[in-house]
Structure 1
Amino acid sequence: MSYTRWTSDRMFVSYCQYYLQGDDFLTVYDDADTVGRIFEGNSLAAGGPEHLTVFAGTHTGWIRLTTEQCAEEPPPPGLEWEAAVDVSIYSTSGNLRLFRWGGDVEEEAGNFANAGEGWYRVRVQARG
C-alpha cells in the first residue's frame, strides 16, 4: 500500500474542530449545519462538497494528529481506537487541505485531493 504520512504533536484546535477544506468551500458551497450533523450522527466527523469537519476531544489546545493519504483502502481500525468513521466527500477544486479553526492552513500536511477533482473516502480515528 502506498501512502504519504504527516504527523504533528502541535496541531492546535479551537472549539474542538479541525477541517479538510477545498478552494471552492465558502465561495461556492456553505454548510452551516456541519457541527449539528456531527452531534446527530457519528459524533466524530461530517462533510459535504469541498469540506470535512472533525470534532476533537480537546476543546482548545494542542493535539497529536497523524494523517495518511492512501491509494488503496486502509485496513480496518485496530482495537487501540475508541472511535472510527468513514466519510465520503467530493472535491470540486482538486484541493483539500488541513485547516485549523480560524482559517490557518497546515501546508506541510499536503493536498488530500491528490488524484484531483472527484470523490474521496476519509477515515477519522480517535482516542483519548
Structure 2
Amino acid sequence: MRNVYIRNRLASFGYAFNGIAAFLRSEPHARVHAVATVVVIAAGCWYKLATPEWIWVIFAIALVWITEMLNTVIEKIMDHLSPGLHPKVKFIKDVAAGAVLIAAIAAAIVGAVVFIPYIF
C-alpha cells in the first residue's frame, strides 16, 4: 500500500515536469520567460544578492511563470470550448492576459528595486 502511494506521488511529479516541458516547447512567451529567468539569476549571482533580495527575486520570477502558465491553460481551454470568436471568451482571455501583465510589471518593479542600487 505504501509503495503504491510513493509511486503515485513520484508519477505526479513526472506529470508536472512534463507539463513544464510542454509549456516551454509550445509557447513562445515561455521561452522569453526562460531567457529572462536565466539573465536575472545570472545578474543576481554576479551582484551577490543578499538572501532577502533573492527571496523577492525568486517570488517575482515564480509569480510571472505561474500567471503565464495559468493564462496559457485558460486560453487553451477557451479555444477548445469555443473555437469561434465570442465576446465572453475574448473577455476571459483578455483578463487572463491582464493578470500576466500585472505580474510582469510587479516583477519589473522588484527587479528595479533590487538591482538599481547595485548597478548605480
TM over 0.5: no
| Higher strand proportion (structure 1 or 2) | 1
State the structure with more CA Rg.
2
Question: TM (normalized to structure 1)?
Answer: 0.23
| Higher helix proportion (structure 1 or 2) | 2
Question: TM (normalized to structure 2)?
Answer: 0.24
